[in-house]
């Protein structure tokens, strides 16, 4: 028990190689809690600091942890084209309110190989005028790839923004067959 009378939760992490660059995966006993793009040492260190602050415990590097084993397996299979979706228990504790509602709808209602507009996603959660707020929710997504914010695009056909960078978004959409593979 900690000084607030609460049981601390274990947070474990590892970095896995992916075609889009290194991904940090972090998990708790509840499930996968965070995925971070471009997890070079400085990015990783900042992400781990944020996790420690938000979850109240220091994340431990544990690539062999049973809490991470299935996430590692499924993420690797996804990038190898052997799996269409990552289906894991998720720990939603880093997101709440409208953002959580939008991300849950995205996770359950926008399948592999499809896209949805920001406005359409807002409509699906009962807030038809909240396209910009949906964009904010996408930017706050602590579980990119797993909760596929790369599948959210502009209604006029534009690719929209992306926290992992537009080239990463293009690569993910190409992997899923939504965009053509780059020529070079």
Active site residues: 149
What does the alpha-carbon distance between residue 128 and residue 61 come to, in Å, rounded to a whole number?
42
Alpha carbons 14 and 69: distance in angstroms, whole number = 10
Note whether 143 and 87 are within 8 A (CB). Answer: no
**SS3 for the chain, per residue?**
CCCCCCCCCCCEEEEECCCCCCEEEEEECCEEEEEECCCCHHHHHHHHHHHHHHHCCCCEECCCCHHHHHHHHHHHHHHCCCCCCCCCCECCCCCCHHHHHHHHHHHHHCCCCCCEEHHHHHHHCCCCCCHHHHHHHHHCCCCCCCCCHHHEECCCCCCCCCCCCHHHHHHHHHHCCCCCCCCC
């Amino acid at each position: 028990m900690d000084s607030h009378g609460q049981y601390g939760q274990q947070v474990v992490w590892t970095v896995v190689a992916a075609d889009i660059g290194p991904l940090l995966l972090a998990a708790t006993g509840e499930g996968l809690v965070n995925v971070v793009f471009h997890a070079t040492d400085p990015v990783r260190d900042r992400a781990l600091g944020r996790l420690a602050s938000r979850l109240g415990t220091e994340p431990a590097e544990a690539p062999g942890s049973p809490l991470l084993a299935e996430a590692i397996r499924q993420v690797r299979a996804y990038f190898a084209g052997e799996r269409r979706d990552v289906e894991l228990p998720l720990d939603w504790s880093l997101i709440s309110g409208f953002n959580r509602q939008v991300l849950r709808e995205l996770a359950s209602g926008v399948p592999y190989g499809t896209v949805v507009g920001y406005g359409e996603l807002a409509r699906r959660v009962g807030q038809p005028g909240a396209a910009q707020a949906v964009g904010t929710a996408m930017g706050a997504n602590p579980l990119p790839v797993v909760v596929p914010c790369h599948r959210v695009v502009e209604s006029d056909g534009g690719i929209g923004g992306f926290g992992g960078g537009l080239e990463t978004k293009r690569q993910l959409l190409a992997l899923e067959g939504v965009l053509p593979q780059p020529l070079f």
